[in-house]
Structure 1
Amino acid sequence: MSRDGDVTLTLGEAEALARSVLERQGLAPDHAAAVARTMAAGERDGCASHGLYRLLVAANSIAKGVVVPDAVPVLSEPAVALVRVDGGGGFAQLPFEQGKPLLVEKARRFGIAALALNNVVHFAALWPEVEALAGEGLAALAFTPSHAWVAPEGGTKPVFGTNPIAFGWPRPGKPPFVFDFATSAVARGEIELHRRAGKPIPPDWGYDDAGNPSTDPVAVLNGAMRTFGGHKGSALAAMVELIAGPLIGDMTSAESIAADQGRMGSPIGGELVIAIDPSGFLGAGLEDHLRRAEAMFEAIEGQGARLPSARRYAARVRSETEGVRIPAQLHRDISALLKA
């Protein structure tokens, strides 16, 4: 249904559309289902830059041969508290789904465990991973490099990726506390959406290829993005490069973009997910200490401040009854992929 230049879809229709497009583009059904769930979740939670728009991104990576469409993930256990899934060059969603049960089991057995996803193609947010683990009662962190699009603080040439960091904390009887943010000033998808809409971007988002601050999204996409928070964001970006690149035997952002060979596909490399079982530290005192955490959340919200992810959860409630709305032009672009 079209309304005010938008197209409204139920959540079921959004996921079915994503799955149909991905399969039409050649993605194996198990991969298509996993990726479609992530895209529909992004749209459901009001994260347009990580929602159905990403179908265009995924289709490009499939068409350019960046992603292996029928990759078979291979799970292994390099150490007692570690899990590794080699994604075989496929998208990251299915490898995570296949590695998650063993990660949860090991975290509960040893108190802490880590999952390395290797040789995967990544285009999505990290919050689905940490939210899923927090839903299991675990605290979780996730990290991944991307392509070298971001300049270090004090420079103007790309070294880092957008290099997101995500964290999830379980809350009894409530949705988990979750944050997920790029260490760049903004997610690259936000700049892409400005480009599609013909809108300028703030001058502190990035540089053109001559190293000058620019409000032109195309110039910044061809130049370099900036980190958030100056040297602090730059240091965090470097940390992500190290712990989700060399630490797990996978690519840095510079290596990822070199491996892309100008195909303009999604980042190639790895992801590190860490899961911690609070009961491992707390035992019988778990409930008491989780209540102490709730006191902190109440102190934040009690003064009118917003918890990270609150907007996503509010959008989720609306979407479940009202569906999701996407721009009509985006719907046309997506629909064209079904005919390709």
Structure 2
Amino acid sequence: MSDNVTLSLASMRELSESILMSNGFNQDHAQAITDVIYACQQDDCHSHGLYRLLMCVQSIQSGRVDGQASPEVVDVAPSVVKANANSGISLLAFNAALPMLIEKTKQNGIAALAINNCYHFSALWPEVERLSEAGLAAIAMVPSHAWVAPAGGSRGTLGTNPFAFSWPRQGKHPFTFDFATSEFARGEIELYRRAGKALPEGVAIDAAGHPTTDAEAAMQGAMLTFGGYKGSALSIMIELLAGPLIDDLTSKESMAFAQGKPEAPFHGEILIAFNPDLLSGGHTERNDERAERLFADIVDQGARLPSQRRYIAREQNIQQDAVSIPRALYEDILALRKA
């Protein structure tokens, strides 16, 4: 028997939606969550694909995630939108607020969306790419739980604090990156733990503050930021912009709020979108060409643009109409389904 299970793209979507709805998420939530899980798994982003169903179900079983919540979108100012997720998953609130964010950005050149009171588990690149599809550049930031030690520290104070950016390109996939400010994403460490693999050096410390390559010890200790103090400073910036700036929780506050329950972090999210046409004075075409020359010079050196491997994986998986996941994960997911 193979160690992997192959699923068609349609069966992957059906599996995700059925698991979520059988565990208490309504159809709107199940579709919004599945859209992102599907996009990630299709692009071979395994740490944020079907694996994340485990966290979604754990989170709603905690009794605090509201799988029936309806988000409230508020037009705060000409360039500000706020969305209250009302203790639901962030993705439904994002979907509800997205049209207003796009409209305000196109009208004013720049606009921000603050999502509050949300549980968040997902990659950020699907969200900023949605904005690039509308011809806008965008960034997104969230805190998480205090799993990460600051540079020179010995215990978790910061979150993995991902940052995503997307730049629209005519007739091409957008230039997009999405990375945690920790050396590893939390989901990657969990996958290493499930596989019984040793972590690379410099990724984590144990509960005593000593370097470790043991994934289980890392889960009990803390992760490290990338680039030492540089990644640490960026992580602190994200704590501030996606926390106090928008009247929401820091990673340490989010972890305290969880009270040890195995649920997705509860906090806020900030997205900032830019209209290249207004900000360039109407010279979008000319400046698109300048951006493309920059990308071409990078690729000409043999370097790789962020997301290139992801786009290649997407095309291959669409052509094959299939994705592959470990059999053990597939069986764990099936075990989540309730009659």
- Which residue number in structure 2 is paired with residue 189 of structure 1? 187
**Corresponding residue for residue 328 of structure 1:** 327
Amino acid at match of 1:248: I
Please tell me the residue identity of whatever aligns with 2:296: E
- Compute the displacement of 1:132 (Å): 0.7
Q: What is the distance in 2 between the residues matched to 1:9 and 1:254?
A: 38
Distance in 1 between the 2:115 and 2:238 partners? 14
Amino acid at match of 2:211: P
Aligned position for 1:218: 216
Secondary structure at 1:171 match in 2: coil
Residues 217-266 of structure 1: CA deviation (Å, up to 9, x unaligned): 11111110000000000000000000000000000000000000110211
- Cα separation, 2, equivalents of 1:100 and 1:284: 24
Task: Note the alpha carbon deviations across 1:133-176, whole angstroms, 9 max, x for none.
Answer: 01111010000000000000000111100000000000001000
**Aligned partner (choices 156, 165, 168) of residue 166 of structure 2:** 168
Alpha-carbon distance, 1:284 to partner? 3.4
Q: Specify the alignment match of 1:81 in structure 2.
A: 79
Matches within 5 A, 1:101-116: 101-116=99-114
Counterpart Cα distance in 2 of 1:227 and 1:71: 34
Q: Per the alignment, in what secondary structure is the counterpart of residue 103 of structure 2?
A: helix
Match of 2:93 in 1: 95
Identity %, equivalent residues: 51
Aligned residue type for 2:41: E
Which residue does the alignment assign to 1:130? 128
Distance in 2 between the 1:106 and 1:181 partners?
27
Other structure's SS at 1:119 match: strand
Retained in 1: the 8 A contact 2:19–2:338?
no
Structure 2: state its 5+ residue gaps: none
Which position in structure 2 is the counterpart of 1:312? 310
Deviation at 1:282, TM superposition (A): 2.1
Structure 2 Cα separation of the partners of residues 286 and 329 of structure 1: 49
How much has 1:321 moved relative to structure 2?
1.8
Report if the CA contact (8 A) 1:38-1:124 is conserved. Answer: yes
Q: Distance in 1 between matches of 2:115 and 2:10?
A: 29
Count matched residues: 338
Amino acid of the structure 2 residue aligned with 1:185: E
Does structure 1 residue 141 correspond to structure 2 residue 142? no
Counterpart CA distance in 1 for 2:295 and 2:215 is 37
The one-letter amino acid of 2:30's match is A
Task: Please state whether the residue corresponding to 2:160 is helix, strand or coil.
Answer: coil
Q: Which residue of 2 aligns with 1:267?
A: 265
1:70 aligned residue (50, 55, 68):
68
| 1:6 partner amino acid | N
Counterpart Cα distance in 2 of 1:300 and 1:65 = 49
Aligned equivalents of 1:84 and 1:176: distance in 2? 26
Q: Which amino acid aligns with 1:328?
A: R
What is the TM-score of this pair, normalised by structure 2? Answer: 0.98
Q: 1:60 aligns with which of 55, 58, 61?
A: 58
Unmatched tracts of structure 1, length 5 or more: none
- The 1:166–1:197 alpha-carbon spacing in structure 2 relative to 1, beyond 3 Å, is same
Structure 2 counterpart of 1:205 = 203
The Cα of 1:10 is off from its aligned counterpart by 1.4
| Contact 1:66–1:263 (8 Å) recurs in 2 | no
CA distance in 2 between partners of 1:284 and 1:202 (Å): 47
Letter paired with 2:327: A
Partner residue, 2:285: 287
Which runs of at least 4 in structure 1 moved beyond 4 Å after TM superposition?
Answer: none
Aligned partner of residue 174 in structure 1, secondary structure: coil
